[in-house]
């Protein structure tokens, strides 16, 4: 099928615009495509660009012409190298390639010219009205897109500003792979990402936190100052090679989001539409995938521009947002690595490599030798002693029973365990798992309570004739069909604290070794902690300090009854996973106060505090939050959530992100 010929204007001659022009012109030579680039053909900035190889695979399938030429001009390598505290740690099986940006653009410029694209250089497009007669205007004018800014309200542009400072340099030393290294100066910790893009050049990106950057006086640095400082700091990695600059200013990374990628016949592609922190190496890849998708949708829909733009965005947005999420967690690592620079080199490298898309199980497929090296350094004998079970799955040193309600009105479902039932459960568990210590979780229903048992489903409120009154911080129903709970009054608080204390005393008397208090997941204490459910105007609502007041008093009551020397865990929903809800920064404060208040360990959960909270389900999905509380705040953590096998356990424990892991109840 040949599509209708279109008159297309492309603004910006970066990878996105050029590649789109090439593909679209090839797909239908009858299109008229004019590409305007404000610089000269040979001008370019930014040294080399990197692609992760496996993610480029699909271009190989779809584009038999440009892609081979690009790959032919690229440097390719397999491992990631982490150099830390004098040790070189390698993890293979990753696969990257990089190409000089100028070379990539030259290839695409040649192909565009061959295909018959009209290339206009030194052509500043100040006003899109000159393209009013065009069928389609493609805006590929980069992260600082002027045309996006001019239409920012229409595109719904919002920009996240990173908290680190970085600068793009190059070096004459050709490193042999993607390499990370880290050094401390008198001012703080600096990290470097390096990758080779030719036989005599590597891209060299230096990143640090804002405080360190200010302490070093870098806000006043010239390019030469930067070179001198970095050549000194990284001298032992450079082997006498020089650093090179090219408009290498210190800057903060800006993550671009747009609620719409097209307005009328104008469409954003590449960095103009979206960016993702360079540590995941996806900017150029996304730009090229955008170009391919837009071309394919135009072809498929017979050059009908409006539906093609809708289909383009529908196809690309989920993939782009996935990469942006990955990039956000990767970026967070780069914003906080100063907490880890004193770690042993291999565990440090494992922590770095598992910051975003990799886990133990995914690395095992790529490079078992790397994991063996990590395990040799960290040891593995201690792993079972830090594993907690809730079913047969193990090995585990501790078995957690429950959840148990501290009172009949504190039940979530009719069959919830009450104190009278503990003795029998304890006896059964001792017989079944003689090698495990035993613990129990205590909870009290909140906005979420008085529901059918969970065999058939969750959050299914009992009919009025079978339910019981619910209590919460405020009179806000949990969700559809739930009764409105009563706001807990002073007498109610007193009773709840006594019930928790009594239950803890009973658990101690029966010989439980471990006690966990459920302060998350939408139950009573969670309703005080979350700003989404606590609307009180008294001393138990409003500020964080106030929202913590009642949970801390319950903890204090339990602490009176629960012996020192036996473990007391408090589970919190570290993030509400809902708009306006608690974030990890809130969790740092909450966990810190609970730890000071007598909790020995914080169990890190996500969401379920309100009906609409949606946690990021998957393997080890609470791992990053647990790691942040443990390593940035010094709070011992337990990590449940998406842990079903030994690989998951190792993802968490070997990366130092929690002190304990808890197996899930269900697995494949």
Partner 1 sequence: MKIGIGLPSTVAGADPTLIAAWARQADTGPFGSLGVHDRLLYDSLEPLTTLAAASAVTERVDLACLVAIAPLRPAALLAKQAKTVDALSQDRLVLGLGLGPREDDYQVSGVAYALRGRIFDQQLAELRMLWRRADLGPQRGRSRPKLLLGGGSDLALLRLARYADGYVHNGGPARGFRSAADRVMSAWSDLGRPGRPELWGLGYFALGPGAYEEGRRDLLAYYAFTGGFVSRIAAGLLASPEAVRDFTRDYAESGCDHLILFPTVARLEQVERLAEAVALL
Query: What do you get for the CA distance between the two ends of the chain, in Å?
Result: 45
Using the rule CB under 8 A, is 458 a contact of partner 1? yes
Question: CA nearest 144: which of 21, 273, 37?
Answer: 273
Q: Report the DSSP pairing between strands 637-639 and 601-606.
A: parallel
> Crossing angle for the helix pair 15-27 and 101-115, nearest 10 degrees?
30
Question: CA nearest 405: which of 499, 491, 489?
Answer: 499
Using the rule CB under 8 A, is 292 a contact of partner 1? yes
Using the rule CB under 8 A, is 459 a contact of partner 1? yes
Using the rule CB under 8 A, is 93 a contact of partner 1? no
Name which position in 368, 421, 618, 634 contacts partner 1 (CB under 8 A): 618
Cβ-contact 177, 195 below 8 angstroms? yes
Using the rule CB under 8 A, is 668 a contact of partner 1? yes
Using the rule CB under 8 A, is 455 a contact of partner 1? yes
At 205 the three-state DSSP class reads: strand
Using the rule CB under 8 A, is 581 a contact of partner 1? no
Q: Which is nearer to partner 1, 60 or 665 (CB)?
A: 665
Using the rule CB under 8 A, is 651 a contact of partner 1? no
Using the rule CB under 8 A, is 484 a contact of partner 1? no
Residues linked to residue 243 through DSSP beta bridges, in sequence order = 171
The angle formed by the CA atoms of residues 458, 464 and 470, to the nearest 5 degrees, is 65
For 567, half-sphere exposure in the C-beta direction (CA atoms, 13 angstrom radius) is 24
Using the rule CB under 8 A, is 365 a contact of partner 1? no
Give the separation between CA 630 and CA 530, rounded to whole angstroms: 21
Count of residues that bind partner 1 according to CB under 8 A: 36
Q: Please list the active-site residues.
A: 523
**Part of the chain binding partner 1 (CB under 8 A), chosen from 135-143, 211-219, 220-228, 458-466:** 458-466
Q: Which is nearer to partner 1, 82 or 308 (CB)?
A: 308
CB of 520 to partner 1, least distance (A): 11
Question: CA nearest 338: which of 348, 328, 323?
Answer: 348
Residues linked to residue 32 through DSSP beta bridges, in sequence order = 7
Burial class (CB in 10 A: 0-12, 13-18, 19+), 589: middle
Per-residue contact track with partner 1, 485 to 524, x per CB under 8 A? ----------------------------------------
Using the rule CB under 8 A, is 311 a contact of partner 1? yes
Name which position in 85, 454, 466, 509 contacts partner 1 (CB under 8 A): 454
CA distance readout (Å), 412 to 505, 531, 666: 22, 22, 21
**Part of the chain binding partner 1 (CB under 8 A), chosen from 131-139, 369-377, 529-537, 659-667:** 659-667
Q: Which is nearer to partner 1, 247 or 480 (CB)?
A: 480
Give the separation between CA 470 and CA 477, rounded to whole angstroms: 10
Using the rule CB under 8 A, is 421 a contact of partner 1? no
Using the rule CB under 8 A, is 53 a contact of partner 1? no
CB of 598 to partner 1, least distance (A): 26
CB of 7 to partner 1, least distance (A): 23
Using the rule CB under 8 A, is 45 a contact of partner 1? no
Q: Which is nearer to partner 1, 372 or 460 (CB)?
A: 460
Q: Report the DSSP pairing between strands 87-91 and 80-84.
A: antiparallel
Contacts to partner 1 by CB under 8 A: 62, 292-293, 296-297, 300, 311, 315, 403, 454-455, 457-460, 480-481, 605-606, 608, 614-619, 621, 640-642, 644, 664-668
């Amino acid at each position: 099928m040949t599509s209708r010929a279109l008159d297309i204007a492309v603004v910006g001659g970066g990878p996105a615009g050029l590649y789109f022009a090439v593909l679209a012109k090839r797909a239908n030579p009858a299109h008229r495509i004019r590409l305007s680039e404000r610089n000269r053909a040979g001008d370019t900035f930014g040294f080399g660009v990197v692609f992760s190889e496996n993610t480029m695979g699909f271009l190989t399938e779809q584009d038999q012409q440009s892609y081979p030429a690009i790959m032919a001009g690229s440097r390719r390598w397999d491992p990631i190298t982490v150099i830390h505290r004098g040790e070189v740690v390698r993890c293979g099986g990753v696969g990257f390639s990089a190409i000089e940006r100028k070379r990539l653009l030259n290839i695409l410029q040649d192909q565009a010219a061959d295909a018959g694209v009209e290339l206009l250089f030194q052509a500043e497009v100040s006003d899109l009205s000159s393209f009013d007669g065009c069928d389609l205007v493609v805006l590929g004018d980069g992260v600082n897109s002027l045309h996006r800014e001019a239409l920012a309200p229409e595109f719904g542009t919002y920009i996240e500003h990173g908290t680190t400072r970085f600068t793009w340099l190059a070096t004459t030393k050709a490193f042999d792979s993607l390499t990370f290294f880290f050094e401390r100066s008198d001012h703080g910790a600096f990290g470097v990402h390096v990758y080779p893009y030719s036989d005599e050049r590597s891209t060299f990106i230096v990143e640090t936190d804002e405080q360190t950057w200010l302490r070093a006086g870098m806000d006043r640095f010239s390019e030469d100052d930067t070179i001198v400082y970095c050549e000194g700091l990284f001298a032992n990695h450079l082997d006498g090679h020089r650093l090179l600059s090219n408009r290498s200013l210190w800057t903060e990374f800006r993550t671009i989001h747009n609620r719409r990628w097209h307005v009328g016949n104008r469409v954003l592609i590449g960095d103009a539409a979206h960016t993702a922190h360079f540590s995941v190496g996806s900017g150029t890849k996304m730009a090229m995938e955008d170009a391919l998708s837009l071309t394919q949708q135009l072809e498929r829909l017979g050059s009908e521009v409006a539906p093609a733009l809708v289909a383009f965005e529908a196809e690309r947005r989920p993939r782009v947002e996935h990469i942006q999420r990955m990039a956000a967690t990767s970026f967070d690592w780069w914003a906080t690595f100063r907490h880890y620079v004193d770690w042993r080199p291999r565990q440090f490298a494992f922590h770095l490599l598992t910051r975003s898309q990799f886990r133990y199980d995914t690395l095992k497929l790529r490079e078992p030798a790397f994991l063996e090296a990590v395990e040799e350094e960290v040891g593995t004998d201690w792993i079972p002693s830090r594993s907690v079970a809730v079913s047969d799955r193990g090995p585990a040193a501790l078995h957690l029973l429950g959840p148990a309600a501290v009172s009949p009105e504190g039940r979530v479902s009719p069959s919830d365990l009450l104190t009278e039932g503990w003795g029998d459960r304890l006896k059964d568990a001792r017989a079944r798992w003689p090698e495990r210590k035993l613990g129990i979780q205590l909870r009290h229903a909140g906005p979420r309570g008085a529901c059918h048992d969970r065999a058939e489903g969750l959050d299914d409120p009992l009919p009025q004739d079978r339910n019981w009154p619910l209590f919460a911080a405020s009179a806000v129903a949990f969700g559809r069909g739930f009764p409105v709970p009563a706001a807990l009054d002073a007498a109610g608080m007193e009773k709840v604290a006594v019930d928790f204390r009594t239950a803890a005393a009973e658990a101690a008397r029966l010989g439980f070794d471990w006690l966990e208090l459920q302060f998350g997941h939408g139950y009573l204490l969670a309703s005080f902690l979350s700003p989404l459910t606590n609307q009180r105007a008294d001393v138990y609502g409003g500020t964080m300090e106030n929202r913590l007041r009642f949970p801390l008093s319950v903890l204090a009551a339990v602490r009176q009854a629960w012996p020192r020397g036996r473990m007391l865990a408090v589970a919190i929903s570290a993030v509400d996973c809902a708009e306006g809800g608690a974030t990890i920064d809130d969790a740092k404060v909450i966990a810190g106060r609970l730890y000071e208040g007598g909790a020995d360990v914080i169990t890190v959960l996500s969401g379920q505090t309100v009906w609409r909270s949606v946690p990021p389900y998957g393997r080890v999905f609470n791992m990053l939050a647990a790691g942040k509380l443990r390593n940035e705040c010094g709070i011992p953590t337990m990590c449940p959530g998406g842990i079903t096998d030994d690989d998951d356990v190792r993802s968490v424990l070997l990366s130092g992100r929690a002190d304990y892991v808890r197996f899930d109840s269900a697995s494949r």
